[in-house]
Chains A and B, each alone.
Chain A
Amino acid sequence: MARDADVPQQIQTDAKIVVKGITSVFHLKKTRTTPAGEFIALNDINLEVRKGEFLVLVGPSGCGKSTLLDILAGLAHPTSGGVYIDGKKVTGPALDRGIVLQGYALFPWRTVRQNVEFGLEIKKVPKQERAAISDNFIHLVGLDGFADRFPHELSGGMKQRVAIARALAYDPEVLLMDEPFAAVDAQTRESLQDELLRIWEATGKTILFVTHSIEEAVFLGDRVAVLTPNPGTLREIVKIDLPRPRHNSDTRSSAEFGWIRRKIWELLQNAPSDARPHPNAVPVADAISPTAAL
């Protein structure tokens, strides 16, 4: 295990994102039912993402995929290893990365427009410009006419569109998405996936998308990184050769789609037998949030 001091501050690379030897260990406190110990959430993860690529991380709960995303966002720090964006080491959160979370995380006291403008306010963009930018992104996610509504007046799918618009508005080059569509119903989910691909093609962002749905991963990604739990290990990266554009097409029902889905499913099933989750491990991993200390 490399010590943190050995991690260089800068590396030479053509890739947009480089994940280098990331290991993340949580120290578990003793509780009434479990002894004290260590939980390895991520074990030596190495990954490169090209500029403009759509990479999906897929894996069951407890495989550390959300932890990896938090590290990428700068919200958590790895025990060892480093994450590089354009060759520069990530040391904390910044506006070069946008984040979309599962629970929408909209600010309920702000209207749709005010939510979209949040990052711009932090960036200290003048009010006039803010309005023009937010109009643009509200239009992009198809919420024209809802700009002055409050989140509680929107459906789940609409809320998630606002969250996407909010993350795009301050023009980050990388979009990090942590199971963004997990809380919406199946039909909304498919249309949001179509929408996301359209937005991705329109903006050319680099997207790192975390999900536990294999179908979603195959439908969206250029490549799918398969993670297996306990300890969180990168098992394989599967290249998805399905033709683009995939939205508004029959991609989901094609034979190839089914074949790739099956392959990933097998990868997840055939994890080494000693890597089966410990009965206690899964809930524990869920309970630990690296951001809890914030």
Chain B
Amino acid sequence: MSQAGYMNNYLLRSSGVLLFLTLWETAPRLAWLDPYFVPPLSVVVAEIGLLLGTGDLPIHLLVSSWRGVTGLFLALLIALPLGVILGRWLTGLADALDPLLRVLSQVNPFALLPLFLLFFGIGETAKVAVVTWVTLWPILFYTITATRTVDPLQIKSAAALGVTRSQMLCKVILPAAVPTIFIGIRIGASLTFFILIAAEMLGAGSGLGWLVHNSAMNYLIPRIYAGATFIILLGFLLNRFLLYLEKSLFAWQEYPASWTTAGEIRPYVWRPGKGAAIAGAATLSVILILGACEVRKLNQEAMAGAGGSSGHAKHFGTPVESGSGGF
């Protein structure tokens, strides 16, 4: 495609978004829409800037990220080994378990949330548990499929060299399965983001979802829009980033496992090296460590604010004090 064609295509593709943003700005200004209920784009952007400036948005972002990343890690910890075992060694068991796993994966996360709130109180555990539950299934299913469908020819040619079991796992099965597993992780991450924001609206005192919920309770309309826009943008970027990572990490694939309709023009593909891996690991650790501190601080504040009597602390398997009389 020529340079001009490339530009034209780019313009065409952005035209829809640009038109929408223009409408968002002009419609309230021209009073086609009530500017009280629909603040113009510029007002919302200014509000986002304000929230970023006061540090509200970064803190809630950190808290939400911590919850998401923790849940995701827990899900990986459970689903990856289980998936490899079921996909590679206990295939008969995997077949027998399939319907049960499908039914369990259909358990509604929102129906589960009250259950977890009951088990764990409204501390962090309930939210992290819901996130883990939701993320677990795509990762597990994709890991089973991935390890099960490794090209038998590749296995055969490695087996002909007399490789040991662990060599077969590390040098053939896992590298072959990783792209498909990554799709599971990407879907899991998307689900995490979706469920987490919702969970934070139903039972939390912090996080991005709570920020929007709280604004709505207080009729801070520009703040609702600011929070919502920020969350949508974040979700969009997260999704795009993971897709991009997938393409660049697994560029060796003959048929990339996911080829979205959006990817008509294949851009230059960056291949992540050691530096990128270190940066990624560092970001995750920062989220985990700083997030944990922040979450702890916020929960302590919330507890102090509530007088500590309403049982908002974490409970592992012990009944919530104020509720035990109800049974």
Q: Do A and B come from one complex?
A: yes
Q: Which residues of A approach B to under 8 Å, CB–CB?
A: 73-75, 92-95, 97-99, 101, 103-105, 107-110, 118-119, 121-122, 150-152, 163, 170, 176, 289, 291-292, 294
With beta carbons under 8 angstroms apart, the residue of B152, B167, B176 that contacts A122 is: B167
Set of chain B residues within 8 Å of A74, measured between Cβ atoms: 160, 162
Can you add 11 more A-B contacts, CB < 8 Å, to A109-B250, A151-B254, A289-B152? A99-B157, A104-B153, A105-B154, A122-B161, A122-B167, A150-B252, A152-B252, A170-B161, A291-B152, A292-B152, A294-B156
Set of chain A residues within 8 Å of B178, measured between Cβ atoms: 109
What does DSSP make chain A's interface, helix, strand, loop or mixed? loop
CA distance A73 to B172 in the complex (A): 19
Decide if B163 touches A103 in the complex (CB within 8 Å).
Answer: no
Nearest chain A CB to B89 CB, angstrom units: 12
Decide if A94 touches B159 in the complex (CB within 8 Å).
Answer: no
What does DSSP make chain B's interface, helix, strand, loop or mixed? helix
Set of chain B residues within 8 Å of A176, measured between Cβ atoms: 160
Decide if A92 touches B152 in the complex (CB within 8 Å).
Answer: no
Given known contacts A75-B159, A122-B163, A150-B252, A109 and B153 CB-to-CB distance under 8 angstroms:
no
By size class, the interface of chain B is 20 to 34
Nearest chain A CB to B297 CB, angstrom units: 44
Set of chain A residues within 8 Å of B167, measured between Cβ atoms: 122
Nearest chain A CB to B149 CB, angstrom units: 13
Within 8 A of A (CB), among B131-160: 151-160
Shortest 5 CB-CB contacts between residues of A and residues of B: A105-B153, A105-B157, A99-B160, A93-B162, A150-B252
Instruction: Return the chain B residue nearest A170 by Cβ.
Output: B161
With beta carbons under 8 angstroms apart, the residue of B155, B161, B172, B251 that contacts A291 is: B155
Nearest chain B CB to A65 CB, angstrom units: 16
Nearest chain A CB to B92 CB, angstrom units: 13
CA distance A151 to B171 in the complex (A): 17
* Interface status of B175 (Cβ within 8 A of chain A): yes
With beta carbons under 8 angstroms apart, the residue of B158, B163, B251 that contacts A150 is: B251
* Interface status of B253 (Cβ within 8 A of chain A): yes
Given known contacts A108-B252, A108-B254, A122-B167, A93 and B153 CB-to-CB distance under 8 angstroms:
no
Nearest chain A CB to B158 CB, angstrom units: 8
CA distance A181 to B86 in the complex (A): 36
Instruction: Return the chain B residue nearest A150 by Cβ.
Output: B252
Within 8 A of A (CB), among B155-187: 155-163, 167, 171-172, 175-176, 178
Decide if B156 touches A152 in the complex (CB within 8 Å).
Answer: no
With beta carbons under 8 angstroms apart, the residue of A97, A103, A292 that contacts B160 is: A97
CA distance A129 to B178 in the complex (A): 29
Set of chain A residues within 8 Å of B159, measured between Cβ atoms: 75, 93, 291, 294
Set of chain B residues within 8 Å of A103, measured between Cβ atoms: 151, 153
9 A-B pairs with C-beta separation under 8 A: A73-B160, A74-B162, A94-B161, A98-B160, A101-B156, A101-B157, A108-B176, A294-B152, A294-B159
Instruction: Return the chain B residue nearest A73 by Cβ.
Output: B160
CA distance A73 to B153 in the complex (A): 14
With beta carbons under 8 angstroms apart, the residue of A109, A151, A294 that contacts B155 is: A294
CA distance A75 to B152 in the complex (A): 12
Set of chain B residues within 8 Å of A107, measured between Cβ atoms: 154, 172, 175-176
Decide if A152 touches B254 in the complex (CB within 8 Å).
Answer: yes
Given known contacts A108-B253, A150-B251, A101 and B153 CB-to-CB distance under 8 angstroms:
yes
Given known contacts A75-B159, A93-B161, A152-B252, A118 and B152 CB-to-CB distance under 8 angstroms:
no
Set of chain B residues within 8 Å of A104, measured between Cβ atoms: 153
Nearest chain A CB to B250 CB, angstrom units: 8
Nearest chain A CB to B187 CB, angstrom units: 22
Nearest chain B CB to A163 CB, angstrom units: 8
Instruction: Return the chain B residue nearest A107 by Cβ.
Output: B154
CA distance A107 to B161 in the complex (A): 14
